[in-house]
Amino acid sequence: MLDEAEENARETVRSRVTPSVFDAIERFVGACSRWGRVSNLVSAADRARLWERHVLDSLQLVPLAEGAGPVWVDLGSGGGFPGIVVAIAREGTDMTLIEANRKKSAFLLQAAAEAGVKVRVRPQRIEAVEPFVADVVSARALASLDTLIRLAAPFFGPDTIGLFPKGKDAPLETDTAHLRHDFTASLIPSLTEDSSIVRVTGLRTVS
């Protein structure tokens, strides 16, 4: 049984997507809940707030990639946020999920299958994946922006967009990253309180 905040978040998601997309996301959320009860993959606190803290947070990345091509790579995909949610909600997305933890990689494959969405899962460290140019690169709750840009750089081409949800220190992290990396950043207010999504474009050189 969902509490009021979680039910409101679920209904907000329902209002923003098509019925078939909502059904697929709901199946994915169900998989997260089931796996979380039998493993440490999803904490009890996260299971209680999957719609509010994770699904909505992931879904807000989709319009920020408007106009970009289909190839999307999600770094350190963990429990599938935002990667699987984006793959479900963004029609035609060619999603690669990179996750070194074998248990989490197995979950990602199973959860994607339950949701009926095709993704590619790379059970490797990010640095070990053979680079390819993506249209969009994302990472959530993985590392500082400076480190994220270093890890994401091999997947950037001239027109690649980076989408990196960050907390209240997003401006400071952006300033720090600019000391070592050459890029353009836009800080977009997040649905999560005191948070921003750092939208990175024009990544040119990495020292």
Strand order in the sheet with 161-166: 120-122, 94-98, 71-75, 136-139, 161-166, 196-206, 181-189
The CA distance from 98 to 164, in Å, is 15
Binding region for S-adenosyl-L-methionine: 76, 81, 126-127, 140
The CA distance from 145 to 160, in Å, is 16
Binding region: 76, 81, 126-127, 140
